[in-house]
Amino acid sequence: MDAPVDAARAAVPPVQPPRGGTPYPLVAREARGGDAAVHVRGVAIGGDAVQVIAGPCSVETESQMRAAAAAVAAGGAAMMRGGAFKPRTSPYAFQGAGPDGLTLLTAAAMRHGLPVVTELTDVRMLDAFLRAGVDAIQVGTRNMQNYDLLKELGRVDVPVVLKRGMSATIAEWLLAAEYVAAGGNRRIVLCERGIRTFETAYRNVLDVTAIPVAKRETHLPVIVDPSHAGGKAWLVPALAAAAVAAGADGLLIEVHPVPAQAWCDAEQALTPGEFAALMRTLRAVAAATGRSLGGDRVAATAQREDIPSGCAQPGPGGSRAPRMRARASDIRDAVR
Ligand code: PEP
Ligand code: MN
């Protein structure tokens, strides 16, 4: 018996499970009555425009970041990516440039007016991210179920890009988003990045089906990372086009000035020229689904608000609230 510990435990009230039907009441689609956009320093993710976020897997050097920022801006990206803290499978692989990398990323992106997203792997680094002025914080596939990290991100007013765990069900993914929302931060973007299956011919299987399913189930925007899904540069255009055709609100694409020299994920990075060509294709795919590509800037005053776009325009998934509620039970009933 440990009296102080027992007393402290008794003082913490048990968390009340949500009443009613849904295990994730805050991110459930009916909580907003339709799609909601998340604004990242003037870029609306989840509106009529498909937003492309591009940049290298990892921040390496100042010259690499300057060249990468120029390339993604020239190609028409709305935001820039780049990891300064890398969750690598091997402890001997490059682990990221650390806090200096955050500075290199924000400085390079700022030259072109691009907001940035970068991955937070350790809750102890959150203050450094906030000090560096990171515009959106990425939770990687390996951390989707790091609930303490999710709780801390619930307490900040910075958009969170929540990647799907590589073996997570859609319900688990939405419950991870609910952790962030339950802390008070509703500015969440879901990111499908491929799941593990029995297939070994490519890095992961892009779960295209998850796009309309997630959009039917939640009001949160859903973006897709075709780079980590395919794991090969030549696969990225096909997967990116499929994602936009299936209704994705945006893409997260790895682009490196010289992919062969990349310190991380060299095989899947597009060259600047390949990226520019892909953007031209995506513009046509977006237009075919009644949307546009990027450039969706909003007035500075609206930047910190989520704007529900209402139910007037069902997405490509054809969501309509009553049918959605009736059919959502498969996912929600599976939650334990
Ligand atoms: C990344 O985007 O750099 C990354 C590590 O992705 P994931 O968490 O999807 O593997
Ligand atoms: Mn990568």
DSSP string over 251-312: EEEEB-SSGGG-SS-GGGPBPHHHHHHHHHHHHHHHHHTT-EES--B--GGGTTS-EEEESS
Strands 35-40 and 307-310: antiparallel
Q: What single letter denotes the amino acid at residue 326?
A: A
Domains of the chain, start order: 29-333 (3.20.20.70)
Distance (angstroms) between ligand 1 centre and the Cα of 37 equals: 23
CA angle 157, 24, 213 (to 5 degrees): 100
What CA dihedral angle connects 148, 149, 151 and 155, to 10 degrees?
140
CB-based pocket (< 6 A), ligand 1: 57, 83, 87, 119, 140-141, 163, 193, 225, 228
228 has pLDDT over 80: yes
- Looking at every residue in the chain, the average pLDDT score rounds to 88
Q: For 9-32, what is the mean pLDDT?
A: 77
Give the model's pLDDT for residue 3.
66
**Start-end of H helices in 154-268:** 170-182, 210-217, 226-230, 236-245
- The interaxial angle of helices 62-75 and 99-110, nearest 10 deg, is 40
- What is Dmax (Cα atoms) for the chain? 67
Q: What is the pTM of this model?
A: 0.88
What is the per-residue pLDDT for 77?
Answer: 98
**Ligand 1 pocket: which of 60, 81, 225, 256 to mutate (most atoms <8 Å of CB)?**
225
pLDDT tens profile 99-148: 999 999 999 999 999 999 999 999 999 999 999 999 999 999 999 999 99
The DSSP result for 169-182, as a single string, is: -HHHHHHHHHHHHH
Tell me what percent of the residues of the chain surpass a pLDDT of 70: 83
> Which single residue is written with the structure tokens 């390496």?
60
